[in-house]
A = this chain, B = another copy of it.
Amino acid sequence: MSSGPTLAIVGATGAVGTVMIDIINNRGSVPWGEIRLIASPRSAGKKITVRGEDNTVVALAPEAFDGVDIALFDVPDEVSAEWAPIAHSRGAIAVDNSGAFRMDPEVPLVVPEVNPEKVHERPKGIIANPNCTTLSMMAALGALHREFGLRELVVSSYQAASGAGQDGIDRLYAELEAVAGKQVGVRGGDVADALAAAGLSAETPFKAPLALNVVPWAGSRKDDGWTSEELKVRNESRKILGIPELKVSATCVRVPVLTTHSLAVHATFEREVSVEKAHKLFSDQPTIVLDDDHDNEVFPTPAAVVGGDPTHVGRVRQALDFPNTLDFFVCGDNLRKGAALNTYEIAETLAK
């Protein structure tokens, strides 16, 4: 075992925890000594291969954090709210992917390409990982903001089913089987009828059929007509980019895609922009792939980019009627950069 810092993964057996382990196993070199897998008591004792060796999952308990330097959390909000401070009290820095601490002024919200220096300002010993929708566009917006000075953001999302977890994935697969071969979608309600005929419950993580449909609702109900997901895009973008007065309007829409969120972004800047300069900024950013060759009709789509680490950007256009404004389309894997990868990259930034 190497002599590097000890890393814990809390929620190691979940969807995002599994991707974290996958990232570690596929990274050429990692800075860690011990890697400790932590999960609920019912998963304790399970063996998972990490760096070629069996690693036995331990149950979440205060003493599980003894000797841990950095603990990655991917657990429900209320579990993080209780256990991240306990991890800190045992000497660990907690990097949390729940919504529990993101807007806490004493907790930095970090995207390593944008504000890596914030990992050192953590009075509570906790660092938060952003919401996956916000994260999908942050590498791109961070690069543009440094050059042009971001002022306004109008965003529409095309969000994948896996943003609603394994239930969301299972539901979309089941709905696709229920509608395939049925020639539905041409009369109001016949998609819903096909789902009911296939025995699917009217209870769904999406509040409406998702197969052959789009659902303009993500997250929970907030004041004045907004959803939690839309307010996260606004509040987290402001905090990560360090622009408290950033103007933001977001409309968050679920689409029948398994994994990878896409966003149509209309971004207005303080200074003059050009597509050429934006292309260069994107190309210079190692975590961005530029899929933008208009003459050959090349653009990113979620089904093409899913499973990879980079954010893909394309359809970059200078707005015809809005000064200093770019329109573009961005696709990022919501389980990787949107969750496991960024959380892990925060830990790597700390380990440096």
A interface residue numbers (CB < 8 A to B):
152, 154, 156, 158, 173, 176-177, 179-181, 183-192, 207-209, 211-217, 221, 224-226, 234, 246-249, 251, 253, 255-259, 262, 264, 266, 275, 292, 294-295, 297, 299-308, 314-322, 325, 327, 329
Contact A156 B264 (CB under 8 A): yes
Contact B264 A253 (CB under 8 A): yes
A-B contact pairs, 17 of them (CB 8 A): A180-B181, A185-B257, A187-B306, A189-B304, A209-B303, A212-B256, A212-B257, A214-B257, A216-B300, A225-B316, A225-B317, A226-B320, A247-B322, A249-B321, A251-B315, A253-B262, A255-B256
Separation in Å of the A205 CB from the closest CB of chain B?
13
Contact A215 B301 (CB under 8 A): yes
Separation in Å of the A199 CB from the closest CB of chain B?
15
Task: State whether A297 and B258 are in contact (beta carbons under 8 Å apart), knowing that A224-B317, A226-B317, A266-B154 are contacts in the complex.
Answer: no
Give the 10 A-B residue pairs with the shortest CB-CB distance, closest first.
A185-B258, A180-B180, A156-B156, A247-B321, A213-B303, A225-B317, A251-B264, A156-B264, A191-B303, A187-B307
The one of B183, B185, B266, B297 in contact with A217, judged by C-beta atoms closer than 8 angstroms, is: B297
Contact A325 B185 (CB under 8 A): no
Contact A188 B307 (CB under 8 A): yes
The one of B251, B262, B266, B306 in contact with A186, judged by C-beta atoms closer than 8 angstroms, is: B306
- CB contacts (< 8 Å) of A225 on chain B: these are 275, 292, 294, 315-318
- CB contacts (< 8 Å) of A319 on chain B: these are 249
- CB contacts (< 8 Å) of A251 on chain B: these are 156, 264, 266, 315, 327, 329
The one of B179, B184, B305 in contact with A188, judged by C-beta atoms closer than 8 angstroms, is: B305
Contact B255 A158 (CB under 8 A): yes
Separation in Å of the A265 CB from the closest CB of chain B?
8
Separation in Å of the A311 CB from the closest CB of chain B?
13
- CB contacts (< 8 Å) of A224 on chain B: these are 275, 317-318, 320
- CB contacts (< 8 Å) of A300 on chain B: these are 216
Task: State whether A304 and B257 are in contact (beta carbons under 8 Å apart), knowing that A176-B176, A224-B318, A249-B327 are contacts in the complex.
Answer: no
Task: State whether A301 and B208 are in contact (beta carbons under 8 Å apart), knowing that A177-B181, A181-B177, A234-B320 are contacts in the complex.
Answer: yes
Per the bound structure, the CA–CA distance linking A266 and B322 in Å amounts to: 14
Contact A294 B221 (CB under 8 A): yes
- CB contacts (< 8 Å) of A217 on chain B: these are 297, 299, 315
